[in-house]
Structure 1
Amino acid sequence: MKQLVRWVLLAAVSAAVTVPLTLVGVPSAGLFAALAVGVVLALTSLAPAGVPRRAGVAAQGVLGVYIGTMVQHDAFAALGSDWPFVVAVAVATLLLSVLAGALLGLHREVSPLTGSLALTAGGASGLVAIARDLGGDDRVVSVVQYLRVALVTASMPLVVSLVYHPDRSHPAGDVTQSATAPWYLSVGMLVVLVVAGVAGGRLLRLPGAGLLGPMALTVVLQLTGLSFGLSVPMVLVQLSYFVIGWQAGLAFTAESLRAIARILPAALGLIVLLGAGTAGLGVVLAHYTALTPLEGYLATSPGGVYAVLATAVETGSNVTFIIAAQVLRVLLMLFASPLLARSVVWASRKLSRHKAETTPANSAPMRVAD
């Protein structure tokens, strides 16, 4: 009964905090609210014991399908002959993220693996969801990832206004929305995709199988036009955000919070450098394609996808191209990061750099990434 009361308290407060965060436009508001509430209740000894592993895997699967539905079967056609440049810029962004993560990993409170996941420029909610399974500290990853998203989103209006001086008199048309399937068909497809994706991902020994397996299957259905208008009900998306946020938040202790506070100055500096680096890649992309400098900046922004879309529409930019480039970036980050995690673990062992995670509690999952 005591545990039940604590779960009810956790769910009720998380839902209450989500509402105002959603109203002010915070990305993935449910996840952020659940993380913050989980931390507070954990530090005050009012939190439940922890999230069951099966619930975490189910939440990863729902989120994987949700991210996969971002891909439209004709979306990448918008890139046209410029797709090699967009891919090259996305790969360069990944390399910048890895470099920034390696630098953060030099901090005594952070392992190289956690640093790499924390500063990957894309798919914040997905990376938080699978960080623990890969052997990273999901607490550090969640805080740094949301710091990145917050900084990019908050700075975008200033950068656009002060650097690019856009003409806002001719906004772009609304993005066309495709027809969606009835909720009961979508829920049925969702269950099949999650179960088959998780099982197939584990069979193939795919890192982060709970997220990447269902996401891969969904992307295939979307690109082949066989998704039949699949749309994940938002109530399930929000519930998944809650579970993932709780999973990280309930693991906090006073000592781990102090340790993360010591990391933040270094993380903040690296996030700023990462933003400057991707802005430079936007200049390169605009130079080799028909994009304007503003469109190049929006296409390569390392986060804040919803702010990017709103800015693109408001300034009359090439919305379809920018969306396709952003989706490609997010998918590359989510699929490549788990694979790179194994390389990071191997390299750190090769160099005999046996750094501990913030707490010994996360040492067990490190074996999963071997």
Structure 2
Amino acid sequence: MTGRERGPWRAALLVLGVTVALSLALTLLHVPSAVLFGALLGGMAHALTSPRVLALPAWVFRGGQGLIGITIGSLVSLSDLGAMGPALLPILAVTVGTIAISLLAGRVLAVRSDVSRVTGAFAMIAGGASGVVAVARDLGADDRVVTVVQYLRVFVVLVTIPLVTGVVFHPDHGLGRFDAGGASLPADLGYTAVALAGGLLLARLVPVSTATLLGPLVVAVALSATGWWGEPVVPTALQWLAYAVIGVQVGLRFTRASLASIARMLPVVLLIIVAMVAATALMGALLAWLTPVDGLTAYLATTPGGLFAVLAIAADSGSDVTYVMAVQLFRLLVILAFTPLLARLLRARGGR
């Protein structure tokens, strides 16, 4: 790597300035996870232009992982998941099928000599992009590849959903709006603080590589289930902070060689993602055939990513938002729960 030596304060100011500027610009362009992308590019702005190694303190990164876990956990509604009961077996079958498609896509990507089986699997796993990116390195995957590929998949999903929805299903529009919930700011802050403290304490007691994300997620779900907090969410500013921490941490690990390697694989990755999105659409058709749910709801429930955009389209078209969210979150929770076991299995089978 070439470039002038940059002092730690100048490096930090560069990362912060690029992160803020690009996050604002990407937000205005309605790019999903704009802050994560902005922070990723902020970290890269230093890593690719100076030989000085810069890294975030471990406790800061653990805090970011915990906030991501709480953000996911706040979405989980036990009553919504319970409503899946009558169709649980078909939903489970489609969930397993979708995950199998993801793992097959990851294995195809891992044919490349510069991608391990673990990296390929978690780069392609369908759903929970922010959660998977947050724990990718803990699982032994290359978080740089995982981040780029995961959000390229989300982009492809977001581009194709309106096209498929309009051309195939011809739904009406303007029938509803998705509300992400939220209590008062003090309640949201209290909920976040308790879930983060309790979750990180739980993570210290559980010897699992992804415990710093799963511990706060579990505590967040438990707190939400009590109903004491109403319908709390992680305040937006804290969500931005969490995405920024994850993005900067990954961006700071880029080198010019790794960037060139990822750029070379993108055409192949794009083809694999398109094939994967088509295959998961077939899972949606299977779900519609096995259950009484309509085709559009089943399709939206099985898309491999873009949760909030999917829920917004479901509400706008009059689809069953509760069903879509329940199926999407069920798959997400299954993926996050089994990622440590999956990583161990892949490494044992010869991940490079």
Same fold, TM-score > 0.5, yes or no: yes
Question: Could you tell me how far apart the structure 2 residues matched to 1:25 and 1:333 are?
Answer: 27
> Which residue matches 1:240?
242
Distance 1:85 1:95, change over 3 A: same
Q: 1:198 aligns with which of 181, 197, 200?
A: 200
Question: Residue 241 of structure 2 aligns to which amino acid in structure 1?
Answer: L
**Contact 2:102–2:121 (CA under 8 A) maintained in structure 1:** yes
Describe the superposition over 1:204-227 as per-residue Cα deviations: whole angstroms up to 9, x where unpaired: 212311111111221222234354
The aligned counterpart of 2:172 is: 168
- Distance of 1:275 and 1:331 partners within structure 2: 20
Aligned pair count reads: 347
Contact kept, 8 Å, 2:129 with 2:150, in 1: the verdict is yes
The reply on whether 1:26 has 2:31 as its aligned counterpart is: yes
- Equivalent residue for 2:286? 284
Among residues 294, 311, 315, which one is paired with 2:317 in the alignment?
315
Which residue of 250, 256, 259 corresponds with 2:258? 256
Superposition pairs of residues 274-353 of structure 1, within 5 angstroms: 274-348=276-350
Q: For residue 328 of structure 1, report the CA deviation from its aligned partner.
A: 1.5
Distance 2:182 2:118 in 1: 41
Shift in Å, 1:326: 1.4
Structure 2 counterpart SS, 1:313 = helix
CA RMSD of aligned residues (A): 2.1
Conserved? CA contact 2:181–2:233, under 8 Å = no
Q: Secondary structure at the match of 1:134?
A: coil
- What residue is the counterpart of 1:368 in the other structure? none
The answer to whether residue 131 in structure 2 is matched with residue 126 in structure 1 is: yes
One-letter identity of the residue aligned with 2:16: A
Tell me if structure 1 keeps the 8 A contact 2:123–2:146.
yes
Read off the aligned partner of 1:253 and give its amino acid letter.
T
Q: Could you tell me how far apart the structure 2 residues matched to 1:266 and 1:112 are? A: 16
Does the aligned pair in 2 maintain the 1:102–1:116 contact within 8 Å?
yes
Query: For 1:238 and 1:179, how far apart are their aligned partners in 2?
Result: 16
Question: Any idea what SS the aligned residue of 1:110 has?
Answer: coil
Alignment of 1:89-238 (within 5 A): 89-164=94-169, 166-168=170-172, 171-175=174-178, 178=181, 180=183, 182-238=184-240
In structure 2, the partner of 1:65 is 70
Matched residue SS, 1:26? coil
Matched position secondary structure for 2:84: helix
Contact 2:102–2:126 (CA under 8 A) maintained in structure 1: yes
Q: 1:159 to 1:51 in 2, by over 3 A?
A: same
Partner residue, 2:9? 4
Change (3 A) 1:227 1:51: same
Query: Against the structure 1 CA distance between its residues 120 and 80, is the aligned structure 2 distance closer, same or farther, given a 3 Å change threshold?
Result: same
- Range with greater deviation from structure 2 (309-318 or 51-60): 309-318
Q: For the residues of structure 1 that align with 2:182 and 2:312, how far apart are their CA atoms?
A: 21
Q: What stretches of structure 1 of length at least 5 have no aligned partner?
A: 356-370
Question: Distance in 1 between the 2:166 and 2:176 partners?
Answer: 21
Distance 1:47-1:190 versus aligned 2 partners, 3 A rule? farther
Deviation at 1:136, TM superposition (A): 1.0
**What is the rounded CA distance, in whole Å, between the counterparts of 1:89 and 1:26 in structure 2?**
29
**Does the 8 A contact of 2:40 with 2:250 survive in 1?**
yes
Structure 2: runs of 5+ lacking an equivalent: 1-5
Paired residue type of 1:281: M
Provide the secondary structure at the position in 1 that maps to 2:150: helix
Distance 1:227 1:244, change over 3 A: same
Name the CA shift for 1:234/1:179 in 2 (closer, same or farther; >3 Å): closer
Q: Is the 8 A contact 2:195 2:216 kept in 1?
A: yes
Deviation at 1:111, TM superposition (A): 0.8
Deviation of 1:46 after TM superposition, in Å, equals: 8.5
The one-letter amino acid of 1:16's match is: A
> AA paired with 1:72?
S
Shift in Å, 1:231:
2.2
> Displacement, 1:150?
0.6
Q: 1:290 to 1:41 in 2, by over 3 A?
A: same
- Summarize deviations over 1:127-156 as a string: whole Å, max 9, x none: 111111111111010011011001111111
Call closer, same or farther: CA 1:339–1:221 in 2, change over 3 Å: farther
In structure 1, the partner of 2:3 is none
The letter for the 1-side match of 2:103 is V
Match of 2:49 among 41, 44, 54: 44
Q: CA deviation at 1:6?
A: 2.1
